[in-house]
């Protein structure tokens, strides 16, 4: 029995590696081959691929719950560590868990496929309430101790930190030199802020960078989906929704055709391939995002003002183009061949952030913990995107206010 348990764990680990690198379309045959067993032997441990996915997600949830329990136990024992140290330790534990269970994080990024069992739908849609409660109570304790500012909505700050740590398991920040520093660096930015001197809203509101962002925001969400009776337009609209909801890799042309109420042949008569369909969907979005970033970074403004304007612009991208945004985020861990091949690519955006940070640090406008230029840029790039749920639940203005209170000013009291 112990041998069976060890073998089952090995299969799960192998499946996790494959799902993390190849996506949910990984087959049982591929899992069996990578595990060095026959498919028939795989069925001795798991009745289906869905059963493997459910167990991977449940294993991730159990680990998160254990982290939450330890954090709450430490609070009950009157943890003597400084407030910032306690918050960073919990945040780092969440990020480490998300990286360790990267497959589960990726598998829950999208809705379960059509026809999924009730068990899979249940585990995939489960909210990690215990870890969120642990973070909130940790923040409340440190606020009572005078570490955090008293004017903050700690519920939103807790959500912001938890989401930022889990997101490390989706992107590529856990890879490369110094990756182990990323969770603490991101959390430190949220707590201490990037601004050397906390800016007033009135000063930020009048910046040239924010005005540049607003010009492009007006055109966000403009699409060529308005032509009634145009089947090509219908296909793009339906495919955009399906790619965002189910994932590009797992959505087939057959799925798009069914959702559009068309035959697969009718779809193929209007498109060349799935990748070309994706590029057609993302073309106007990519051009608009590129224009927004270029206008902001080339404006006559300080580095701090430009970062503020980029946060505002990104929040509006999330609000008005959430489907394209989800497609773009999911493409970051993929190879260029399967991604949307955006003109304004992640490396290009990263270079602009690196330049802004270098200039701001040199002029004394910005401050950040000692780290490599690449780690700084990756951390700030991730944090100037506010989590989707906060934008959608709180609205764009409240989301921007939270971004300013954390990323720019920092949640902690300044001495």
pLDDT of residue 334: 45
- Residue 151, SS3 per DSSP: coil
Asked whether the predicted pLDDT for residue 337 surpasses 60, the reply is no
- Rounded-to-integer distance, Cα 127 and Cα 86, Å: 23
- Rounded-to-integer distance, Cα 311 and Cα 399, Å: 9
Of 288, 310, 293, whose CA–CA distance to 348 is shortest?
Answer: 293
* Buried/exposed code over 282-301 (b: 16+ C-beta within 10 A; e: otherwise): bebbbebbbebbebbbebeb
Asked whether the predicted pLDDT for residue 359 surpasses 90, the reply is yes
Quote the Cα angle for 393-95-185, to 5°: 95
Give mean pLDDT, residues 36-65: 90
User: Could you tell me the two tokens for 119?
Assistant: 């068990």
Q: Domains in the chain, please, with CATH? A: 1-47 (1.10.10.60), 61-190 (1.10.357), 193-223+284-400 (no CATH), 231-274 (1.10.10.60)
Asked whether the predicted pLDDT for residue 2 surpasses 70, the reply is no
pLDDT per position as a tens digit, 3-48: 467 888 899 999 899 888 877 778 889 998 888 888 788 888 888 8
Asked if 4 contacts 45 with a C-beta cutoff of 8 angstroms, the reply is yes
Q: What is the DSSP string of 308-345?
A: HHHHHHHHHHHHH-HHHHHHHHHHTTS-TTTS---SS-
Give mean pLDDT, residues 52-73: 94
Q: What is the DSSP string of 159-187?
A: HHHHHHHHGGGTSSTTSSTTGGGHHHHHH
When mean pLDDT is compared across 38-52, 326-340, 347-361, 367-381, the lowest value belongs to 326-340
The three-state (H, E, C) secondary structure of 205-236, written as one string? HCCHHHHHHHHHHCCCCCCCCCCCCCHHHHHH
pLDDT of residue 328: 81
Q: What pTM, to 2 d.p., does this model score?
A: 0.89
> What confidence tier does 87 reach under pLDDT thresholds 50, 70, 90?
very high
- Rounded-to-integer distance, Cα 90 and Cα 183, Å: 10
Asked if 215 contacts 119 with a C-beta cutoff of 8 angstroms, the reply is no
pLDDT of residue 226: 46
- Which H or E run contains 295? helix 274-297
pLDDT per position as a tens digit, 279-336: 888 888 888 899 999 999 999 999 999 999 999 999 999 999 999 988 887 665 443 3
- Rounded-to-integer distance, Cα 148 and Cα 140, Å: 8
Give mean pLDDT, residues 137-155: 95
Cα distances (Å, whole numbers) of residue 192 to 164, 367, 415: 15, 9, 11
Quote the Cα angle for 59-61-62, to 5°: 65
CB-neighbour burial class of residue 59 (10 A; exposed 0-12, middle 13-18, buried 19+): middle
- Rounded-to-integer distance, Cα 110 and Cα 279, Å: 20
User: What is the number of alpha carbons within 13 Å of residue 115 lying toward its C-beta?
Assistant: 2
User: Could you tell me the two tokens for 261?
Assistant: 């109420």
- Distance from the first to the final alpha carbon of the chain: 59
229: left (phi over 0), alpha (psi -120 to 50) or beta: left
> What confidence tier does 223 reach under pLDDT thresholds 50, 70, 90?
low
Asked whether the predicted pLDDT for residue 338 surpasses 90, the reply is no
The β-bridge partners of 195 are 366
* Buried/exposed code over 232-267 (b: 16+ C-beta within 10 A; e: otherwise): ebbbbbbbbebbbebbbbebebebbbbbbebeeeeb
């Amino acid at each position: 029995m112990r041998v069976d348990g060890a073998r089952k764990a090995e299969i799960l680990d192998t499946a996790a590696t494959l799902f993390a690198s190849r996506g949910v379309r990984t087959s049982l045959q591929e899992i069996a081959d990578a595990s060095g067993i026959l498919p028939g032997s795989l069925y001795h441990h798991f009745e289906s691929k869905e059963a493997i996915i459910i167990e991977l997600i449940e294993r991730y949830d159990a680990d998160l719950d254990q982290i939450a329990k330890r954090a709450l136990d430490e609070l009950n024992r009157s943890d003597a560590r400084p407030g910032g140290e306690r918050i960073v330790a919990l945040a780092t534990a969440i990020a480490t868990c998300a990286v360790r269970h990267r497959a589960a994080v990726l598998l829950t990024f999208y809705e379960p496929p059509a026809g999924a069992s009730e068990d899979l739908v249940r585990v995939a849609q489960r909210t990690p309430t215990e870890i969120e409660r642990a973070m909130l109570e940790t923040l409340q304790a440190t606020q009572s101790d005078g570490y955090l500012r008293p004017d903050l909505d700690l519920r939103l700050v807790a959500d912001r930190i938890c989401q930022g740590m889990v997101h490390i398991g989706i992107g590529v920040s856990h890879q490369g030199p110094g990756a182990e520093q990323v969770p603490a660096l991101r959390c430190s930015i949220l707590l201490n802020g990037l601004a050397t001197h906390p800016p007033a809203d009135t000063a930020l509101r009048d910046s040239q960078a924010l005005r540049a962002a607003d010009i492009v925001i007006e055109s966000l969400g403009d699409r060529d989906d308005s032509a009634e009776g145009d089947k090509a337009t219908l296909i793009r609209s339906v495919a955009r929704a399906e790619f965002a909801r189910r994932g590009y890799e797992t959505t087939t042309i057959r799925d798009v055709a069914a959702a559009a109420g068309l035959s697969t042949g009718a779809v193929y008569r209007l498109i060349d391939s799935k990748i070309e369909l994706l590029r057609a969907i993302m073309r106007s979005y990519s051009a608009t995002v590129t224009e927004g970033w270029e206008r902001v970074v080339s404006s006559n403004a300080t580095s701090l003002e430009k970062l503020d304007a980029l946060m505002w612009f990104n929040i509006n991208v999330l609000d008005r183009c959430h489907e394209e945004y989800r497609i773009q985020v999911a493409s970051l861990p993929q190879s260029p061949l399967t991604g949307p091949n955006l003109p304004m690519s992640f490396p290009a955006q990263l270079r602009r952030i690196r330049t802004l940070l270098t200039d701001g640090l040199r002029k004394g406008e910005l401050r950040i913990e000692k780290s490599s230029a690449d780690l700084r840029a990756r951390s700030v790039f991730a944090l100037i995107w506010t989590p989707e749920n906060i934008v959608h639940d709180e609205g764009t203005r409240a989301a921007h206010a939270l971004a300013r209170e954390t990323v720019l000013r920092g949640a902690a009291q300044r001495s």
